[in-house]
Structure 1
Amino acid sequence: MRMRNLLGVALAALWLQPFGAAAQELPRHHFKVIGLNSPTVASTMDEVPFWRETIPRASNGRITADITPLDQMGIDDKTMLRLLRLGVMDFAGMDISKMAGDDPRFEGCDLAGLTLDADKARAACEAWRPVIDRQMQRNWNAKLLAFGGNPPQVFWCREVIGGLADLRGKKIRVFNNTMRDFLQGVGATAVSMAFAEVVPALNNGVVDCAVTGSLSGNTARWPEVSKSIYPMSLGWSINVLAVNLTTWNRLEPRVQQFFLEQVKAYEDKMWRTLKAADAQADNCNFNRPPCTMGRLASMTLVPVKPEEAAVHKRLVETAVLANWAKRCGAECTREWNDTVGKVLGLTAPLP
């Protein structure tokens, strides 16, 4: 009797197995993805491998994607969210602060100089995540999936400068409104410019300095057209991964769950890469091997003096927060104070 029962269980298991396997097999999907600027470490080490290797492997080849960095398509960074809303692509990687011209909330967790270490930057964005996702879904037919970032955004200058005071009167490339607020406070002229345009602009003297990541500039060959780095941080160039909401809602629940699981691991990896890139930036920029994530260069380091760090803190807590609050409005500012502000111990003044 016992043998008969065991045989019955075994036969039942064999009968159920193909059906269980079929239930777990994902349907086939192919997606179009437009991603981050190709020279950045976030693109080469995280985003491109995620779409070309991780997703196909994890889905047993059932889910695939074409991923093209935005600079290779000649797309203006600031239009990425608009293109995603229109369904030009299914998924998009973008620097969220560059979308702030359409909604100031999009720079709420990466205001210039707001956080000075990666863990605090991530905590600020985690606190602000529901707000960005809500705004995307409400107004942009998009859903926020993940946050990432780049090494600290610092000053790359054509000549060797002496410090913060030397920025006064200089033309400096920036890429969002909150950096403009900071530069206004130090008497510099902010010049908006796409990442791909910076090398010729520095080379030809169109700008005196330019702001980008401490390793992003290195991998984009900025040491060939600049001499010094002033490492006063103006943020993290926070990246997001978002999906067109129409595309998302058409996916079967098991495919949505697959993506949510994969994206969580992807988000964790992006922050690990950011920290590794931050740690290597000085090695690469100042000719101190090992440098495995960039190119060895011989830039001049212009240290941030203690009194300059105090000015930086004052500008963030006054000009940066106040100007952003005016753009975002009272309701938005209250929401920020209750979320990001509480995490960081800061209060933005109500406009």
Structure 2
Amino acid sequence: MKRRTLAALLAAVPMVAVRRVAVRFAVRCAVGRSVGRSLGRSVRCSVRCSVRLSAAPLLAALTSAALTSAALAPAVSMAADADALPDVHFQVVGGGSHNYTYSAVEKPFWEKTLPAASGGHVTAELAGLNERGLKGPEILRLMRGNALDVGMGVFAFVSGDDAMLEGVDLPGMAPDIATARKMVQAYRPVLEARMRDRHGVHLLATVPYTAQVFFCREPVQQLEDLKGRKIRTRGRNMADFISALGGSPVTIPFAEVIPALQTGVVDCAVSGIGSGNSAKWYDVAKHLYNLPTDWSIGFYAMGEKRWQRLDPAVQRFLQEQARVLEDRLWQETGRENDFALACNTGQGECRIHTKADMQAASPSPAERERLHAIASQVAGEWGKRCGAECARAWSGSVGQALGVTLR
């Protein structure tokens, strides 16, 4: 064995392991001396022999110890990192407590996962948006003013006069949740900079909801059937999308949708395929048109001033854990979306939501081509309203990811 190779190996082994091997080696040498004397040979010779005989097991023992040390290093490092964290407690406002992902993901994350991962140093108290008596549009202002530590909002609700935030979830662009996440990941650097520089908040994680689809009183078999119908919607972009489809957008609060459908104030209402089920819209709307207008993309964030006051170790830890939260939210929302369709129609495996008997239809391949053209048209109008800088940022991120050019 070359000296430098053994030296390098020894350097990678904890001292405890070296001592164990040294003890075994010393015992073998002692035995060698005894045998050497009884045979009338020199001690030097017997020790050399012992070294030769022990080289292989010594190397094996050292290698095993080194590998064990390497395997344990991440865990030891994580434990050390957790021990290095100062104690900090966050007041968190999450999504609506009636939402499935609030109880399935948000609550266990903030109240169990985060404290466990930090060794009890980082803790949080979570309340739903509705439990705090909030509507949604005010969440950025509250975080910016340090009225709360961490908050969850929906971009469509907080965009106000900042159209750039709407670019994360333009209607008709994402037929499935995988495409929606692709859009969000592409646009994230734009969102991070905009939220920090203009709104004074630090983006932690993105949050999807189930596909925003059509719950209708009368049958909808194709896109043409939406023409002339009064459709409950929310936000400027979705209203433009409904208008481009030939419908008449109507703004109605979520809580007033059932009576509006019952009395004919609206013919259809757009909402999450899971949210509509939870609200029992299937009692008054027997037809589901499975055309995702968007995914009601939201976020978790913290006021930038509050973020800057955090210990750097806490910043790193919180950002790492926010990725865990984000991954779980996207994964669980995807599952919820699949089950919600099965529950609303009463066909397939129904979990999470209530089984109903709605009649469902989806756009044909030819209609999807038309939808792509309509979505691009609406995106182009948004780009003009948002401005040249905004349009360039979107085209260089989401547009590039989807192969769409704003016109």
TM-score range, shorter chain: 0.7 to 0.9
> 1:272-297 deviations in whole A, cap 9, x for unaligned?
11221122122111113532221111
Map 1:1-351 onto structure 2 (within 5 A): 24-318=83-377, 320-349=378-407
Distance 1:213 1:23, change over 3 A: closer
* More off after superposition, 76-85 vs 323-332: 76-85
**What is the root-mean-square deviation of aligned Cα atoms in Å?**
2.4
Structure 1 distance, partners of 2:141, 2:255, is 20
- Residue equivalent to 2:64: none
Amino acid at match of 1:101: G
8 A contact 1:42–1:149 mirrored in 2 = no
Instruction: State the 1:168 CA deviation.
Output: 2.4
What TM-score do you get using the length of structure 1 for normalisation?
0.87
Structure 1 distance, partners of 2:88, 2:280, is 37
Instruction: State the 1:83 CA deviation.
Output: 2.3
Counting helix residues as a fraction of each chain, which structure ranks higher? 2
Higher relative contact order (CA 8 A, sep 6+): 1
- Residue equivalent to 2:11: none
- Residue equivalent to 2:66: none
Amino acid at match of 2:318: F
SS of the counterpart of 1:114? coil
Where in structure 2 are there 5+ consecutive unaligned residues?
1-14, 20-75
SS of the counterpart of 1:339? helix
| Percent identity over paired residues | 38
SS of the counterpart of 1:215? helix
8 A contact 1:124–1:340 mirrored in 2 = yes
8 A contact 1:173–1:191 mirrored in 2 = yes
> 1:229-259 deviations in whole A, cap 9, x for unaligned?
1011101111211111121111111111111
Amino acid at match of 1:264: R
Structure 2 distance, partners of 1:98, 1:217, is 18
Greater Rg, structure 1 or structure 2? 2
What TM-score do you get using the length of structure 2 for normalisation?
0.76
SS of the counterpart of 2:168? coil
> 1:4-44 deviations in whole A, cap 9, x for unaligned?
xx69x99xxxxxx9xx9698243222222122123323323
8 A contact 2:340–2:351 mirrored in 1 = no
Structure 1 distance, partners of 2:270, 2:81, is 51
> 1:296-328 deviations in whole A, cap 9, x for unaligned?
11111133234433332221121x112211211
Structure 1 distance, partners of 2:130, 2:338, is 26
Where in structure 1 are there 5+ consecutive unaligned residues?
1-5, 11-16
Amino acid at match of 1:27: P
- Residue equivalent to 1:13: none
Instruction: State the 1:75 CA deviation.
Output: 1.9
